[in-house]
Structure 1
Amino acid sequence: MICAAIFDMDGLLVDSEPHWRIAEIEVFQTVGLALTEEMCKRTTGMPIESVVEYWYERRPWTNRSRAEVAHEIHGKAFDYIGHRAGPMPGMLDRLQYFRAKGIPMAIASASPMNLIELVIDRLNIREFFVVWHSATLEARNKPHPDVYLGTARKLGVDPACCLAFEDSGNGLKSAHAAGMITVAVPADYEFDDSKFDLATLKIPSLAAFDESLFLALQAEVDTTPS
């Protein structure tokens, strides 16, 4: 049976991705790199340090360190998300759904813990979660499985009976590598991307998740060899 529901945060619970892109565009301009929204979408789901490396490898600069660029992007994004970001469609209904079933919930995010705390309080959803965990506290960030395995360990459950919700390709790889049942919730612009074929189930938003899908995934868990 499904013993826990684990959620990514950015772009899944909170509509933060546009604010990350704004921060990236503004900061990369300081090193002579004029990014567009479409260019930013190439690195959705990657830790900011990896985003900086991605663009440095393709268009290196000399006037600022990569660490300084990453630090400023984090600072701007935190400010924008903390003051402007709202919930993703269906988020609150799904949290209430799992709470009504008595299924413990957790957050497993690539973002640092202070941003997780900021979002939890901005959306007023702290009461729903028993664990929130950051991949920055693990040896490796997504797409490696560390944050999902660490979250399952903190919950005291078998990863194989966990239901993981992810909106990015890197996050999906992370949850899949941890051996979890996965639900992909991609953004519209990449919904048909083959990278999401890895998921057990793909839906257009959290609002589309219902009892029939839960029961189908429950059966998936029950028939998975231990």
Structure 2
Amino acid sequence: MAEKHKIKAVIFDMDGVLIDSEPLWQKAEFEVFSSLGVTVTKEMAEITRTMTTAEVAKFWYTKFPWTNTNLETTEQLVIEKVTELIKNEGLGISGIKTYIESLRLEGFKIGLATNSPYSIIPIVLEKLNLTPLFDSVSSSDDEENGKPDPAVYLTASRKLGVAPNDCIAIEDSYSGMRAAKSAGMRVAAFTNNTTNGVDTSLADCIIENFNLELQKKERLYCFL
């Protein structure tokens, strides 16, 4: 458990932590790849859940190679579809705005580190009215490898001007937890009041929800 007042920055994952976008990614994935002749199954789609969009396109191409478009164009089609779905259907995780506002009042710097394309970040933050609350945003788009590689978290730490061991990452996937741990950060596993089978063994603490009214003051931030 992190020492009290040790943590100086909180870095959020985006999909599944800020916004309930994973069903939208699945919908876009099914629509785009099915149109290319790919047989998208629920089991195989689960494998791609924590990949970057480039990795997802490569994954399906190796399983069902298509000839009518290249990987870069296919990836962009997925991004465009997800962007459309987020604008029209995206819903924030309950309590997230108030939770981040309270963190800022406590003096924490706030960052974002996601495997999603950089172009989607402002769409999500604007949709949820979170844009002014973030001191920096980082995407694996700018890294050689996405999570579980620690690169995006190291970049987020550098942008915030806070050493990795003074940061805590809030993640909902084992892949993301591995990335943050490998970067030398603390990890809070966000479960959203569910037991979805995600391995939380790497987590320093668990955040069940962001509803402050349901949390006692001493448990407001599980990492203090």
Tell me the TM-score normalized by structure 1.
0.86
- Equivalent position to 1:83, from 81, 85, 88: 88
Instruction: Looking at secondary structure, tell me which structure has more helix per residue.
Output: 1
Other structure's SS at 1:197 match: coil
Which whole-Å CA distance do the structure 2 matches of 1:209 and 1:197 have between them? Answer: 23
**Corresponding position of 1:33:** 38
Separation of aligned partners in 2, 1:130 and 1:33: 40
Partner SS, residue 206 of structure 1: coil
Q: Call closer, same or farther: CA 1:81–1:32 in 2, change over 3 Å.
A: same
Is structure 2 residue 200 aligned with structure 1 residue 199? no
* Rounded Cα–Cα distance in structure 2 between residues aligned with 1:209 and 1:181: 21
**Which deviates more from structure 2 when the two are superposed, residues 202-211 or residues 37-46?**
202-211
- Write out the 4+ residue segments of structure 1 that deviate beyond 4 Å after TM superposition: 186-190, 208-211, 213-216
1:133–1:151 contact (8 Å) kept in structure 2: yes
The answer to whether the aligner puts 1:159 opposite 2:159 as a matched pair is no
Query: Unpaired runs of 5+ in structure 2?
Result: 1-5
* TM value normalised by structure 2: 0.86
Query: Which residue number in structure 1 is paired with residue 57 of structure 2?
Result: 52
Q: State, as a whole percentage, how many aligned pairs show the same letter.
A: 34
Equivalence map 1:72-221=2 (5 Å): 72-186=77-191, 191-194=196-199, 196-207=200-211, 211-213=217-219, 217-218=223-224
Preserved contact between residue 94 and residue 209 of structure 1 (Cα < 8 Å): no
Structure 1 residue 138: Cα displacement: 2.5
Give ranges in structure 1 of 5+ residues lacking alignment: 219-226
Give the distance between the partners of 1:186 and 1:65, measured in 2 at CA. Answer: 37
Determine if contact 1:31/1:61 at 8 Å carries over to the other structure: yes
